[in-house]
Each structure stands twice: as structure tokens, then as C-alpha cells.
Structure 1
């Protein structure tokens, strides 16, 4: 659409759903010239020797052919890496976002709903809306813990097809109480629905649900290589009982993971120790950031991810002040009423964190 055009000039727009036209596209902030600490990315690049080795390997790929058997190799490698239980399967997605969309597509029965605590990952609600499902958001408590009673009541009332539980949650970065999670999982199982445990931030968390997943035939566990250190290749994976994964896999587009993405992921898993060291460094830096925030007297919530949620007096002013000082973070204060005046800080390198904390102190 040109600057002079209006919707009335393009009749074909009437063919696009009204609810889509009323939506806002997912916004990615312009980070040029700034220290980028807004998207929970791993701040560490591959060591030079691995960069060269990966480049040679990718250069030998038959990019003139559609992806082939290496996808199956990657499935096996990820299953081994994750410790997938016996009798469970794994499928690949173009990032977790695609997997969330595929789940909505697979469960799009008349009147179906998707339920999740809020505030949470925006794609749960967006994928539901785009697929024509109802989305039911159940508010967390004021300190961002699960409201177990409200969750159980909503499950009974709404009979959702899917309940999403992020472990840890985004943007609050906390792990919820295991016993509460288990009661919610059991309640959803009794009414015949799916539970999806989203472990996007598993490399930084002190525990995982994967050992408990084997107890259930209605629980799927989703992870991504984005936080592992490969955000640029867009690769997620979904694990669960073979029968469930087989059905969801039917709606996956053919060749949804490119040969470049697949080979890069296999290469990274062969060097998993390098990425494990990076995750350990990020966890250590997270402790440093949290201690510094305490010294500054900034309200924060304990983190089990590579981000820290804080509350300031004026989120908009502080966000802009930090941006003026060359540091880009995420202003989440308008995402949900519970997040009033909250900012989300990604944990970066030692030097990035030092500059971020200095910019924050000067912008409060």
C-alpha cells in the first residue's frame, strides 16, 4: 500500500478477515546501534574455529534438493539430548511459534478453546485467534504465581482443548509450584484435554518437567533451540506420546525445516558442551544482575530464565532513558494490567550487563 492509498482503494482487502485487519503485527524493535537486551537471546557467538567448521559443513550441503533423511537424524539427536522417555516421539517445528500454530490447527474442533495463565507468551492467544479458537486467559496472582483455584475452575467451565503452562514463564521468568502444576495437569487429563509444557528457557532453569511427562498420556513438552544459542535458525521441537505426536505431525507442512537449519542444529548438538558453558555463564551473570538490582533498590522477581522482570516508577520514561543511553530492553508494562510499570531485562555478557545496569540507574 502506497502512502497515498487507503483501504477503500484496494477492494481485495475485503477478502481478509475483519479480525485479522484489526490485529497488530508482532513487532520487532529496531536494535541498530544499540546493545540488544530485549529478546532473551544468547549473547555469545560461536568460537571462530567452530564458525569455520560450520561454514565448511554448510557449504557442502545439497541446497538444490529438498530436505531429506537428515531431519530424522536430528529427531534422534534431539531425543537423545533431551532424554526422551521410552515410547515417546518428537517432531520438529520452524521455531516454537510454528508448533503452537500447528497445535491450534490440529485441535480446531467446533467450540474449542485454548487456556493459559496470563500474562504469558503472546503466541498462545495469537495462534488461537488466527485459527478461530477461543482463548481463555487466567490471570496470575499479583506476585505472578499460578492462581490454582482459578485455573481449575476455568478448566472445568471451559473444557479447553489445550492448556499451556510455560516452565519458566515469559515475561515473568519464574517457575511455578510443582504440586499446583500437577493438579492442573490431572484436572485437564480428567476432562480429556491436552497440556503443553513450554520449556523454552530450559537451559537456564533449575529443573525440567521431562521426567514427570512419562507419567501422562496427555502431556506434550515443547522446547526450542533459540535459547540454547541458535535463535537465528528457528528450530523448535515437540515431545510427547507417540500417538499424539503422530496426529499433530499430520498438519506439519512438508520440508518445514531447511537443510541449513537442520545441519546447523546437528552441528550444535555435537558441540553441546560449548553451549552448556555459555548457559552456565548466563546463569552466573543473571545472579550478578539480580544482586545489582537489589543494591539499586529496584523491585524484581526471582528468575529461572535468561531475563529478569523488574518494576519501576515510570516504565515508559525508564525505557526511553535506557534507549537514549544505547541499551534496548523490553517495555512490557502495557501487555497486561499485572505488568504495570514492568520492564524485562535480558541477561547479556558481563560488559553488556554492566552498561545495562548503568543505563538503568541513570534512567530511574
Structure 2
């Protein structure tokens, strides 16, 4: 990469110049199992119907009331309780950025367990907030005592709790979560990106609290390319956060595609059920591989520890299977790879490549 001329470098924040951009691995020609995407496509019939719907959209106009239709559909789909509202984002990433922007007051801090989703820390840094990461335990459970101590010390504006967590794929202890929620002086954001694959949701508990927000995305529902995230919270709180949302942040094409998908929610639920079943079979097979430790998963990914993550990752890629090497993201993830749950055929190819690359 060429060096930025000094006269331009002076214009940009030094901390931004020192950052690494969010990396997306090239995947052409590979079995792509690195990004927790739904591997299933729509049937040809539904593809044609979706194409007709999108072709009829008035793309010469800014998005209007159709976004209200999408919010109403998501309200029904998520079974949002009375007194709560939701706002739309261009994926969860934009919602995370908007929350940091809305809470950017002097001395504001964001607290989250680590290892976790990298955008929590990145959004804090870009917005000029302090980020405090609290290590999980060696078995990737919440360190409740450390979390409560960090909350007491830093009085965070936002606490993020991923439910389940990325990249560890586990749901944390509900009693510990409730004690953290009670102790938090600011917002608590329950990130349910992987809710279609989880055995529990926080939606039935959100009504107990005025400071808890629930964040979801349609990416894991099966629409990663459509980029729709949504944030659920008390009406008054959502109304304030919504003030930092850019106008027309969700395109009318994306909104129409999401509405179409929600009208066929049974199709996507069947896909999720298939992936949950495949996850169980994958975990059974991984347990039989010598030298491989796999953790229980409530998401569409499985975290594994192998003798040599870099060598195994390279060997799998050479054999045509792309996974995620997370071994350098955090010391607790030493020698770990993250495997996305794919179709039965993709999982078979992944297991064969893994076994041959150990």
C-alpha cells in the first residue's frame, strides 16, 4: 500500500491512521465458512417473486412510508412488548456507531466482555469514547466479579452483552447478566445477532428495565447482504437515540427485500432449523477428532482449539475451505479457529479439510 502524502496525513486523526480497517477475507473459489452467513439461497420461485417486487420499487424516490411498514413488520416478528419501539440501522454496525455518537459526553466509557464483537471497541475509538474490555474466564464465561468491578470503577454509559457471544458462540449465565444489568448506571445493550440459532432470548425480560436495549439483525436471519439491523427499547429512549440516525439510512430496496423475507419467515425458520441440526452433527464429529477442543454453541458458528491454528487455517484454505483464524484476537483465543455452520455438504468438506490439516 502506498504511503499517504504528509500534507494529507496532517488532515487525518493519528489514531485513525494507526488503526486497521475491518478485514474481509477474499473467498473466491473457496467454501466460505468464515463469516457466519446463512448458506441457503431462496428457491427459484421466490427469487423470481423477489425480483418482481424489487423491480416495481420507485427507486427514483427517497425511502418513505415503506420504512414504517418494515418497522411494523419487525415489531410483530420480534413480538416487541407494549411501550417499546424500534429503530432501523444499516446492519448492527451502524446501530453500534449511533449509540456511541448519542452517548458521546465528556468522560463517557463503554464496557464489554472480551473477546467479543470488535465493533464495540472500534466504534468507541472512532467516536472518542473510552473502551474498557473485561476478560472472560478461561472457559469463556462472564467474569461477574470483574464486570461489576469495572462498572463500579468506570460508571460506563454503555455496557454491551452479546447473547450469544461472538466468537465464543455461548450464552452467558442469566443470573449474572441480571446482576450486571442492575448494577449498570447507563445503557445495557443486549446484542442478539445470533438469535435465530439460540435457545433463549432476552425479549421476555426487556420489559423489566428502562435502560436496556435489545439489538438484532436480519443478517443471521438470512439477509446478510441486505444490511438491516434494529434496536428495541422504551419509546422515549429510542426517540432520543433516533435523533442521530442519518435520514434515509436504509434503502428502499433493502427495506422491500426485508419485508419480502418477513412475509416468508417460515422459509427462513426452516433454514435456521436445518443449521441448528447441522450444528449438532458438527459438534458430534468435532468431539471425535483427536487434538481438537470444541465449545458448545448457541449460534451458527463453533469455536475450536487446535494444536497450531495458523498451520491448520492455512491447510484448510489450501484444501478449499475458508474459516476464521481468531487465535491472535485475544490471549484467551490462543490456537482457536471459528467455524461457520454450513450445509451438510459444506460441513463435510470442512471436517475433512480440518482433519487433514491438523
Name stretches of at least 5 consecutive residues in structure 2 with no aligned partner. none
In structure 1, how many angstroms separate the alpha carbons of the residues matched to 2:287 and 2:3? 51
- Please list every run of 5 or more consecutive structure 1 residues that lacks an aligned counterpart in the other structure: none
User: Which residue matches 1:102?
Assistant: 98
Match of residue 288 from structure 2: 295
**Match of 1:112?**
108
Matching of residues 110-259 of structure 1 within 5 Å: 110-188=106-184, 191=185, 193-259=186-252
SS of the counterpart of 1:208?
A: coil
Cα distance, 1:12 vs. partner? Answer: 1.9
Extract structure 1 runs of 4+ deviating beyond 2 A: none
Q: Answer yes or no: is 1:46 the counterpart of 2:39.
A: no
Deviation at 1:6, TM superposition (A): 3.2
CA distance in 1, matches of 2:10, 2:42: 47
- In 1, Cα distance between the equivalents of 2:282 and 2:136? 25
The 1-side partners of 2:56 and 2:283 are apart by 45
Distance in 1, Cα, partners of 2:267 & 2:324: 28
Find the aligned partners of 1:45 and 1:224 in 2 and give their Cα distance. 18
Matched, 1:359 2:353: yes
3-state SS of paired residue (2:50): helix
Residue number in structure 2 paired with 1:23: 19
Residue 109 of structure 1: how far off its partner (Å) = 0.3
Q: Secondary structure at the match of 2:225?
A: helix
CA–CA distance in structure 2, aligned partners of residues 289 and 82 of structure 1: 29
Q: Hey, what does 1:338 align to over in structure 2?
A: 332
Structure 1 residue 116: deviation in Å?
Answer: 0.1
Q: Distance in 1 between matches of 2:248 and 2:297?
A: 36
Q: Distance in 2 between matches of 1:248 and 1:148?
A: 28
CA distance in 1, matches of 2:145, 2:235: 32
SS in 1 for 2:60: coil
| 2:22 partner SS | coil
Match of 2:313 in 1: 319
Matched residue SS, 1:214: helix
- Residue 10 (structure 1) shift: 4.4
Equivalent residue number for residue 329 of structure 1: 323
RMSD: 0.7
TM-score (ref. length: structure 1): 0.97
The residue matched to 2:201 in structure 1 has which SS? coil
